[in-house]
Amino acid sequence: MTTDNPLVEPTTDRVAPPAVLVVFGASGDLTSRKLMPAVERLALRRLLPAGFSVVGVARTEMDDEDFLERMRTTVEQMGGGGDEAKHVWEAFSGGGFRYVAGDYADPTTYQRLKATLDELDRERGTSGNRLYYLATPPTTFPVIAQGLGAAGLHQPPCDGAFVRIVIEKPYGRDAPSAAELDAVVHRVFDESQVYRIDHYLGKETVQNVLALRFANAIFEPIWNRRYVDHVQITVAESLGVEHRGGFYEMAGALRDIVQNHVMQVLALTLMEPPATFEANSIRDEKVKALRAVNPFTPEDVRVEVVRGQYTRGWAQGREAPGYRDEEGVHPHSLRETYVAMKLQIDNWRWAGVPFYVRTGKRLPKRVTEVAMEFKTVPHLPFAKDQAEGLEPDALVLRIQPDEGITLRFGAKVPGQAFRVRSVSMDFFYGAAFLEEAPDAYERLLLDALVGDPTLFIRSDEVAQAWRICDPLLQAWEDYDVALARYEAGTWGPAEADALLARDGRRWRRP
Ligand code: BG6
């Protein structure tokens, strides 16, 4: 049994081993917004050893000092830095931040990287341990994997050392391209070295789905088709595509959110209790759960799926442009910024329970939640007007913001009359615990450094998620499937409301 897995050894604080974090895409957005703040916080929490080093790789010309300074200032702009972090950056300034400028397709880039890594091993005692992080556009993933392989950088340089590679999403554009990417990656790296990241799994409240389900006796018995009427999973964002119009034109909501974040939350909701919390025990159950999702036929895509795109409207009290007017977006673009769908699960636990899923940009607020609505009682012993304010019982797991859990149930309205209406019992994460939760990237970066793959996506999970999404992509390409429109700042297209109305249900207003 490994002792690196916090789900197994929950009480010990894990500290990263001496290592070099090599960031490809070092001048990019993800590096400055997520990775470097995570490095700073890990260092502040004393979870990085003294010689821990970072090597940035990108095309932009910079020297080591420029790179360090640039990273220090961006972290400050992201709300980090300050007096508290001064000593962290002082420690890094003694040669702990290095930069290799070069093209990813050029073999000499990897020769220079190799020389830098060897130097760091000698000078800072990083012991041959390397974590490569591909914070680059997906087209470069195969190129970088091959480049590392050709330079022999995929192998530990000495006994007992580790070499791992973290690959960002999107992993492929569909099932065949994900399999192709896997083939290239596996020619160089063993699957045990590959850490496919989905930052949703790093969120404390996503992990709390496991705690809620498997640490309590009262939820699991009702977590099935006997009691659950339907489930709604919402990943709503108030932001538009911001400055990522070009990327979004290639991705769309299905590839950007559904194939990864939504599928992960879905898998944790659907899965059977794992025998242990070991990485593969959990991942086996997630794969099994995703396998049970009924694939869409082309006809289903017309009926059970809504794709939408936002038009001009409002966001946070200001007029907001329509998607087609965003920078980098084609004026006649058919790219979806919203997806709603009804999934059916073919297994004993969930047969006949619809899972309604929706995600969209430019919705009224940012909220991610799993809401489980329960069946009504077989007989209500009240007159109709006594129970007018009564809605079905519901359990809502709020993943963000206001992380917590709400249980909705019926209660008597105070007074002489006997009337019942729904009330809520709320648990707020922030109020119940004093500990500050680590940010998702902080958590996952440390997991990758200590070698715990539990919260990373295995190759067969990726394949299952594409199996569910591919028929939609195919149908949208091949058939004349309507693109619904919704005004920015609203809860999505009317067609999505109709999807539930047909079943006599409504979307929640989170
Ligand atoms: C990213 C998507 O993976 O997740 C973005 O590419 C999206 O489009 C983001 O905005 C949402 O993440 P979070 O943590 O803000 O819910």
| pLDDT (0 to 100) of residue 1 | 38
Kindly list the distances between the CA atom of residue 169 and the CA atoms of 137, 148, 251, 484, in Å, as whole numbers in the listed order. Answer: 9, 19, 11, 27
Q: How far is the CA of 400 from the centre of ligand 1 (A)?
A: 12
pLDDT tens digit sequence for 381-421 = 888 889 888 999 999 999 999 899 999 999 999 999 899 99
pLDDT at position 5: 53
Residue with CA at minimum distance from ligand 1 atom 2: 256
Question: What average pLDDT does the segment 134-152 reach?
Answer: 97
Q: Is the CB of 198 under 6 A from ligand 1?
A: no
Distances (CA, A) of 227 to 230, 373, 374: 9, 9, 6
Contact 23, 136 (CB under 8 A): no
- Angstrom CA distances, 510 to 91, 211, 257, 260, 399, stand at 45, 23, 19, 22, 12
pLDDT, tens only, 204-242: 889 999 999 999 999 999 999 999 999 999 999 999 998
Q: What is the pLDDT of residues 275-317, one digit of tens each?
A: 999 999 999 999 999 999 999 999 999 999 999 999 999 998 8
Beta strands in 375-437 (DSSP E): 394-400, 404-412, 420-428
Residue 58, pLDDT > 90, answer: yes
Is residue 403 in contact with ligand 1, taking CB distance under 6 Å? no
Q: Is a pLDDT exceeding 70 seen at residue 192?
A: yes
Residue 146 in this model has a pLDDT that exceeds 50: yes
Which is the closest atom of ligand 1 to the Cα of 200?
A: 14
Q: Which residue has the tokens 């997520």?
A: 34
Q: How far is the CA of 463 from the centre of ligand 1 (A)?
A: 21
Q: What is the DSSP letter of 384?
A: G
Nearest protein CA to atom 8 of ligand 1, as residue: 256
List the one residue out of 208, 140, 233, 253 whose CA is nearest residue 440. 208
Q: Indicate whether residue 369 lines ligand 1 (CB < 6 A).
A: no
Distance 461 CA to ligand 1 centre (A): 20
- Whether the pTM exceeds 0.85: the reply is yes
Identify which of 168, 169, 197, 199 to mutate to test ligand 1's pocket (most ligand atoms within 8 A of the CB): 199
Whether 360 contacts 490, CB under 8 Å: no
CB of 329 within 8 A of CB of 245? yes
Q: Given the residues 230, 261, 330, 379, select the one marked as catalytic.
A: 261
Q: CA torsion, points 326, 329, 332, 334, in degrees to nearest 10?
A: -100
**pLDDT, tens digit, for every residue of 339-361?**
999 999 999 999 999 999 999 99
Largest CA distance in the chain: 84
pLDDT of 3 higher than 70: no
Residue 12 banded pLDDT, cuts 50, 70, 90 = low
Distance CA 389, CA 478 (A): 46
The span from the CA of 25 to the CA of 193, in Å, is 20
Q: How far does the centroid of ligand 1 lie from the alpha carbon of residue 30, in Å?
A: 11
Instruction: Report whether pLDDT(24) > 70.
Output: yes
pLDDT tens string 314-343: 998 899 999 999 999 999 999 999 999 999
Beta carbon of 168 within 6 Å of any ligand 1 atom: no
Q: Which of 204, 206, 237 to mutate to test the pocket of ligand 1 (most atoms within 8 A of CB)?
A: 237
User: Whole-angstrom Cα distance, residue 248 to residue 271?
Assistant: 31
Q: DSSP character for 498? A: H
Q: In angstroms, what is the span from residue 86 Cα to ligand 1's centroid?
A: 30
pLDDT of residue 125: 94
Give percent of the chain above pLDDT 70: 97
What values do phi and psi take at 371, rounded to 5? -120, 125
What is the three-state SS of 109-152? HHHHHHHHHHHHHHHHCCCCCEEEEECCCHHHHHHHHHHHHHCC
Answer yes or no: 186 catalytic: no
d(CA 372, CA 435): 28
Closest atom of ligand 1 relative to the 247 alpha carbon: 6
